[in-house]
Amino acid sequence: MNTQMDWSAVRERVIAVEEAGRRARGRGSSRYPTFEPVLTCAEIAEAEAQFGVALPDEYRAFLAEVGAGGPGPALRLTSLRRIDGKWGWVWDGDENHPWLLDSSGPFVETEDWADQQIATLRAAGYEPTARDEDEDYLDDYRKVFGDDGEEVWHLERGRGAILISDNGCGMTGWLIVVGPHRGEVRDRDCAINPPFEPYVDANGNRHTFRTWYLEWLEQREKEAR
């Protein structure tokens, strides 16, 4: 495997800082595993085939070497699980509502989202009304797609990306899988239609999954020391 994708010792490092955190809070070792089991190459390939996409190499290697879910920036990474024969990303243990990647088109960056909505509505034979500054054209989606309008809007908004982390209080992290910024991660707040903001390091460089995760781990280790 490409050494740049090598996650050796990361699993053990995370387990160590998690245990140190529990000790600092006066707690003993957890009876639950820190990470979900790693996935086999065949399982990852099966998930990729289901969604018709190749996962970014860094994340693919993480699934195979570290785990299919576990601790991560903010709260936890979502977990890639097979549920009733189908793969999906689960957060907060809710297997009834997994995130199902739509790889039919590239992830739409915040500055291009309004244009994407207009294109979708016009393709459905509808001319958009005035844009609402908070919800963009969500009301128009409801008019065009009826009871499914809000779901269509939300699924299209996350197209080409994986809901990769639960950051608490409705905040989320996203891994871009399709498009020119494939492999980068985005942060999203909890408003109705907040922007997707790139995660950046101290020098303003955009994080990929690997640099984002390792920066978090190194900060946790620093705090533990």
Residue 171's DSSP bridge partners are 168
Whose CA is closest to 205, among 174, 180, 178, 181? 181
* 156 close to 105: Cβ distance less than 8 angstroms: no
Instruction: Domains for the chain: give ranges and CATH numbers.
Output: 3-107+158-224 (3.40.1580.10)
- pTM of the entire predicted model: 0.93
Query: CA geometry: angle at 183 spanning 198 and 12, to 5°?
Result: 100
Residue closest to 84 by CA, chosen among 100, 108, 72, 104: 100
172: helix, strand or coil:
strand
Question: What are the beta bridge partners of residue 88?
Answer: 81
The per-residue pLDDT string of the chain (225 residues; one tens digit each, 9 = 90 and over) reads: 343 568 989 999 999 999 988 888 877 777 788 999 999 999 999 999 999 999 999 999 999 999 999 999 988 999 999 999 999 999 988 999 999 999 999 999 999 999 999 999 999 999 998 888 777 899 999 999 999 999 999 999 999 999 999 898 889 999 999 999 999 999 999 888 999 999 999 999 999 999 999 999 999 999 888
Residues 214, 218, 223, 225, Cα dihedral to 10°: 140
